[in-house]
Structures are given as C-alpha cells and as structure tokens.
Amino acid sequence: MTSEISNYMRFALDQAFLAVGESRPNPAVGAVVVKDGIVVGKGHTQRPGSAHAEVMALRDAGELASGASIYVTLEPCCHYGRTPPCTKAIIEAGIKKVYFAHSDPNPVVHGKSRAILEEAGIEVHEGLQACIDACVEECPNGESAGECHVFEFRSNSLEDRAIREGEGREIFREIERFFEAYDYFVRSKRTFVEVKSAISQDGFMGCVDAAGKRWPLTITKAGANCWNHELRAMSDAILVGAGTLLADNPRLDVRHVAGNNPVKIVWAGHHEFTADEVLHLNVLQAKESKPLVYSCVAQPKIVDCIVLSGNSFAENWRTMLGDLTVRGMHRLMVEPGAGLAHALFSNSNNGDSNDSCGAPLWNRFDLWRSTDPSVDETVEQLVAKSVITAGLEYPDLPTSLVAKESAVIGADVLTVYYP
C-alpha cells in the first residue's frame, strides 16, 4: 500500500495564486517555511512596495524560521528595489535550506541568488530537483493543496519513490506553466495572450437561431471547467467579445478554485451597447471592479471606455495589448466567441499574426474538444424543435499552429497550440 504524497512546493504554488492581480507588475510568488516536517509559515507577494512572498512567510514563521527550510516558487530576489532583497531576509532569519522552483528571467536576479545564499552557508536546491525534493509522504499539520490544478494527472499504482518523483515533475511543470506569462512579459515587454475555447465532436461552439441570435451550448464537463477556472485564477485579466457577452451574459469570476478574480475586459469591436444591455449585462454591472471596455466605436452609454482608432483589427488589438502591458498585466485570458476567434485566427492565416517586432496577436491556444455525443445530440434536438436553426461552427484555425501538449479529463480532450 502506498503512502499519501504531499509536496511543499505545491503549497507554495497555492500561495502564489493568491498574489495574482495583487502583486502586479511584480511576479506572483508563493512561499512556505517548513521545520521538522511542519509548515510553520506561509505567504505570498503583496502589492508593489510591500513585502515579497519570502518575507511574508518568514514573518509568519517568526522564531521558528531559524534552522528551517523555505520553499519558494520563484528564485528569491537579491537586489534592492522598492524593498530590500529577499536573500538578505532569508539569511538574517537563519534559514538552513532554500528550495526554489523557477529561475527569475529578470537579469538583475537570474542566477545570482544561489551564490549569495551559498556564500552565507545556506544549502540551495533549484528547478526540477527542488520540486522532487519537496515531496513528503504526508503533511503532519493537515495542510492540503487544492484539488483543481492545471495538468494534474496522477497515478497511485506506482511505488512511493516513483510517485514522489512523478509528483515533483508534475508540480515543476505546473510552476513552469504558471510563470510562462511572466517570463514572456520580462523578455518581450508585452502581455502574454492565452486563448481558450471549447467545441463539440462536430466542431460546434454554440448555436444560432433564425434571427441570427447566438445561443450558448454546454460543452465541457466538471474537470475541464475546473481547469478553466484555475486558468482564470492565474490570469491578470479575462477578455470576451460583445457577442459572447450578449449571448452568455457571463460573470467571468473564479469559482471551484482558490484565487482572485481577474480584471474583466470587454472587446466591444463595432457593437454599440444600448442602455438596456448595459443595465442587464453582469460584467458591465459588476460593483466590485469596473471592467475595461475597448471599443472601435464610441460608447455613449458606457462612462469609462477606451476608444481605439486603428485601421484594422490587428492594429487595434495591439494597441489594447500595449495598454495592458503598461498596466503591468502578465497574462490575458481570452474566451472568444465566433467573431473574435475568426478575427484573431484569420489575421494569423493572412500572415498578420506578428508585427514588425515579431510580437504575435496571441501566444497560446487551449482547445477543448468534447467526445460526448450528447452535446451534438442536444443541438439536433433544438434544431428539430425549431428553437435554433443550426449549430455555430468554430472558425478555421491558422495553418501554422503547432500542437505541443495534450491531456484528457473525462470526456474532454485538451490540445495546446502555439503560433
């Protein structure tokens, strides 16, 4: 019988999710302090100018940090900025071992922290090996990681050693995925765009009636939906087009997982919202945070709106991304309807996916395809009852897509593409 395997780095990643949107434009980092097999401190990066994850976890641990180990999702900073270096705080706290999962691409940090810590007599582990070493058979104080994680597929049929290595590799892959947008933001000085869509076996993403009105279609099941909400939680902002907003009236918040709601963005395109639409659309009426509305036409019924004056979709889209970059947003999640997806991918097909600097309109495309025949049967039944006229097909994909990852959760198959 195998032991239950836990991973301290996973607990640190859970903390990092709490920093998304709060630490911007700084990276969202999580840390836990462990002594004698017990998590005695945890923390995540606060707002710019406030404490980083390591300092928060050390404060939480107090005197127990002396002689303990600290597990951090990102390489600790080693320079003076708005705050003193975290390496200094780690040394002064008496930490004996440091484990960090991901190297910071920022050149003022990259590769420098380890030498500073080791010179102070601290044992340092990094990358994949740090994630494998972070595995334990059980967590004595009852800490438990969330049940919903991107690409978390485990097997309990292997021996404990193999399970520990597999768990370490899995959490390393998740952390690499978590920081993919931050790495891109640092290196390119642009917001990373991740597009997520779902289609049925027959390629439908929704339905349309005789009047041309679009109707939503439930496609994916619980597992894929959980994955989708974790992606929302790890994104600074989430964007939908006017068509999706009118058809689905979504809230675009985070459910099923622990994390913060992303900033809501509306791509209005050439649709002018009426007073009635503004009054009844959940996103436009959200009280906790006002959405960002980008429009190619004036929006007299919306108080705060950014009007784009470019001559093409690509030009306006890049203007929006430039604005999001200035706002310090690392990852933009896009849940497009048929119109927005067509605009994004047709520009890619026409060779307009990159600007003069080689920056793409999008960076990653997550396509869920259901293998459940009942989804398309629902479409057939609605057509037979004359509720709709047909299923709404997903637009043609760019010919230059490269499939790099795949996964299966229940009846839903995920394929991850890059330009």
Query: Burial level of 393, CB count in 10 A (0-12/13-18/19+)?
Result: middle
H/E run at residue 273: none
3-state secondary structure of 332: strand
54 catalytic residue (yes or no): yes
Candidates 4, 54, 165, 272; catalytic one: 54
Q: Give the residue from 47, 51, 49 showing the smallest Cα distance to 76.
A: 51
Q: What is the DSSP letter of 64?
A: G
Q: Give the residue from 400, 390, 304, 306 showing the smallest Cα distance to 352.
A: 400
Measured CA angle at 241 (ends 237, 247), to 5 deg = 120
Residues near 371 by Cβ (< 8 Å), separated by ≥ 6? 201, 411, 412, 413
What is the dihedral sign for C-alpha 79, 80, 81, 84?
A: positive
Q: Give the residue from 356, 290, 275 showing the smallest Cα distance to 318.
A: 356
**Active-site residue list:** 54
